[in-house]
Structure 1
Amino acid sequence: MEHQLETDRLFLREIKNSDLEGMFALDSNTEVHKYLGNKPVKTLIEAQKNIDFIRQQYKERGIGRFAVIEKKSGNFIGWSGLKLNIDEKEALNGFQNFIDIGYRFIPKYWNKGYGLESAIACLEFGFNTMNYTTIYGAADVKNIGSNKILKKIGLQFINEFPYKFKEETVNVNWYELKKENYGK
């Protein structure tokens, strides 16, 4: 894959094995997982499996989430980016084989505009570099922050659908943006 993006305050690059501590800090945090099925990782081995999964997507699918690095500190603060969902386990709202945009940050970096800043860069990359025709987004209806970002970057609300995590079902908002409507 080897793509790199840059914004005013952030570098976005491939997730590397050296991001293990940061990924663990992110994925072991209960606040981060509040709207993701409440299943934070408990070990570095589980965090490494998440890194391996993303790195495999780069090889097999040509795209995957980017590590987000804060320029002023050099810190790994989370991830943001596009994902090609191709298998049945990744189907959402009746869709399979689609590109979605997502982001996840360590809580001490919340409310700084990093989600919006990184999502704008990823959307531009998706439409202008990767030449995707449609990008989708999904967010738990209770996740106000994620829903705000998806709307601010121009994705349009399509519908609400039930999503079953292991033990619970939650309602999720589904959004889409077509390339011809990007930037309008």
Structure 2
Amino acid sequence: MKIHLETDRLIIREIELTDVDDFFELDADPEVHKYILQTPVKSKDEIVEIIKMIRQQYQDNGIARWAVTDKVSGEMLGWCGIKYFTDKLNGHQNFYEHGYRFKQKHWSKGYATESSKAILDWAFENLNTDKIYAITDLENIGSIHVLIKLGFELKEVFQYDEKLKCNWFELEKYNLNA
């Protein structure tokens, strides 16, 4: 299913190979990776492989992360979306997880909240689920603020791996805010 959502300021669509330059700007920034278990990319070839993986998720699951673009300039500001987890994580398996990542220059402008609201509305209308989860680093105050604003509830802290503890958030279908 092709995704095309619009908000007042944004267009949300599938990530394409033509997004390589913007995606590289996003994922090469060490600050963007501060609270996630990945290291910044070093080449556009890595981005091409990431985009191919995301596009495969569209094929396999019908959903994945989507490009968030500025309606006026067309710039890809970052990505936001729902990922389907088939692997077991924190006692859950086969669940939907919400996430987002934006270029540092676009932080604190409300893009994560605005795009998330549109995507979560779409997800609850189109996916066969009553719950969507989100995971954040314990210290990622900005992301925690966005999730709470959207109506997610902090359910617990869990051990993601041997080094990292994370917050486990849950959003029920009828609790969506913003």
Contact 1:54 1:65 in 2 (8 A): yes
Counterpart position of 1:149? 146
Task: Give SS of 1:157's match.
Answer: strand
Please say which of residues 141-150 and 174-183 is displaced more in the overlay: 174-183
Deviation at 1:181, TM superposition (A): 3.5
- 1:179 is aligned to 2:173: yes
Counterpart position of 1:114? 111
Return the alpha-carbon distance in structure 2 between the equivalents of residues 182 and 36 of structure 1.
Answer: 25
Identity %: 46
1:85 counterpart letter in structure 2: F
Deviation string 1:25-59 (CA, Å, 9 cap, x unpaired) is 11111000001125111111111111011100000
Task: Give SS of 1:20's match.
Answer: helix
Matches within 5 A, 1:62-77: 62-77=62-77
2:156 counterpart letter in structure 1: N
1:80 counterpart letter in structure 2: C
1:144 counterpart letter in structure 2: I
1:177 counterpart letter in structure 2: L
Return the alpha-carbon distance in structure 1 between the equivalents of residues 7 and 69 of structure 2.
Answer: 10
Matches within 5 A, 1:70-109: 70-86=70-86, 88=87, 91-109=88-106
1:136 counterpart letter in structure 2: Y
Please say which of residues 123-132 and 7-16 is displaced more in the overlay: 123-132
1:148 counterpart letter in structure 2: H
Give the TM-score, by structure 1 length. 0.91
Deviation at 1:96, TM superposition (A): 1.6
Counterpart position of 1:7? 7
CA change 1:97–1:24 in 2 (3 A) is same
Matches within 5 A, 1:38-77: 38-77=38-77
Give the TM-score, by structure 2 length. 0.94
Counterpart position of 1:37? 37
Structure 2 gaps, min length 5: none
Contact 1:68 1:77 in 2 (8 A): yes
Detail structure 1 runs of 4+ shifted over 4 Å in the superposition: none
